[in-house]
Amino acid sequence: MHVWDHREAVSWSLVAAGVAGYALLFAGAYFGWGGMRGVFASYGVGMLAGTVVLAIIASGVTWEKRANPTLHLVGDAAQSHWERTIGPGGETGTALHFQMQATNISRGPIRVSLACLLRPRVGNPEVDVKTRDPLTNQFGDAPPMEPDETRDIRFTFNVDGPIGRPGKAISAVVAVSDHLGRAHKFKFKRIQPSGERPSRAG
**The domain boundary residue, chosen from 29, 48, 67:** 67
Q: Which of 26, 42, 67 is the last residue of a domain?
A: 67
Residues 115, 191, single domain; the answer is yes
Q: Are 188 and 74 in contact (CB under 8 A)?
A: no
Q: Are residues 122 and 159 in the same domain?
A: yes
- In this structure, the answer to whether residues 175 and 105 fall within a common structural domain is yes
DSSP-assigned letter for residue 91: -
* Residue/partner pairs of 61-69 with CB below 8 Å, 24 or more apart: 61/7, 61/8, 61/11, 62/8, 62/11, 62/12, 65/8, 65/180, 65/181, 65/182, 66/182, 68/106, 68/182, 69/105, 69/182, 69/184
Are residues 53 and 132 located together in one domain of the fold? no
Do 53 and 84 fall within a single domain?
Answer: no
145 phi and psi, to 5 degrees? -85, 135
Residues 88 and 176 in one domain: yes
> pTM for this structure?
0.65
Q: Which amino acid is at 148?
A: D
Residues 40 and 75 reside in one and the same domain: no
Q: Report how many domains make up the chain.
A: 2
194 in the same domain as 97: yes
Let me know whether 94 and 12 are in one domain. no
Say if CB 62 and CB 73 are below 8 A apart.
no
**CATH number of the domain to which 104 belongs:** 2.60.40
Residue 101's contacts (CB-CB under 8 Å, 6 or more residues apart) are: 73, 74, 76, 150, 151, 152, 153
pLDDT at 45 over 70: yes
What is the spatial distance between Cα 187 and Cα 195, in angstroms, rounded to a whole number?
22
47 and 120 fall within a common domain: no
By residue range, what is the domain housing residue 16? 3-67
Which one has a higher pLDDT value, 7 or 153? 153
pLDDT digits (tens, 9 = 90+) for 113-161: 999 999 998 887 899 999 999 999 999 999 999 999 999 999 999 999 8
pLDDT band at 165 (very low <50, low <70, confident <90, very high): confident
The mean pLDDT value of the chain amounts to 87
